[in-house]
A = this chain, B = another copy of it.
Amino acid sequence: MTGGTSAESRLRADARRNADQIRRAAIGAFHGRGLTVPLEEVAKAAGVSKATIFNRFGGRIGLIEAVIEEVVAVELFAIIDRARSIEDVGERLVYYITAVRDVQYRQPAVVDTMLETYPDSPSLVRICHAGGAFNEELSAACRTAGVLRAEFKGDDLHALLHDNALALKHGSRPSRADYDRRTGFVLDGIRSSPAS
């Protein structure tokens, strides 16, 4: 195993170079335009033809698998870890919702991930599953601590983030200022006096 004769190193030099360029281009394209960007465009950015992507990665799913870590997994798991480390439950909730909404705004790929656009990608499903689990965990903790209203169901947190993903995916993105202000409303509510 010292020589590292993995599938990767069996490739001819030019093939490996192309694979690298494709990966890099995919990361850029996924970041900028989401996981649904036409493969043609990724190929163009990588300076190869679409067919080469199929040769190297077998298609979109394979390509996603190859780069999803850098594109969304790292950032998403960092948010979850960071949230877990926050003692105060209220603060934890605020941080989590704020951070997730922030990354949703900045990275279309995160939106596609959360919408489960490609259920055939194991990595993607794994990430969704992990996110969903944390949603449950967090809302349970919040309810127990009295930070959330009693009626708040576990699904509600997920629905909140999911609906925002849909709005970002299919709507026109608001200015950053508007978006952040609305994040505040989601957290604090729009009524100045939260009667009853």
Contacts and interface: CB of A to CB of B under 8 A. Distances in A.
B171 A166 contact: yes
Contacts of A171: 162-163, 166
Given A163-B163, A163-B164, A171-B166, A190 B182 contact: no
A70 interface: no
Given A163-B164, A166-B166, A166-B170, A151 B189 contact: no
A3 to B, nearest CB: 49
Interface string A146-176: 1111011101100110111011011100100
A69 to B, nearest CB: 27
A190 B153 contact: no
A162 B170 CA distance: 11
A185 interface: yes
Chain A interface secondary structure, helix, strand, loop or mixed? helix
Contacts of A187: 189-191
Contacts of A167: 162-163, 166-167
Contacts of A166: 166-167, 170-171
* 9 A-B pairs with least C-beta separation: A189-B189, A163-B167, A194-B194, A166-B167, A166-B170, A149-B192, A166-B171, A170-B170, A188-B189
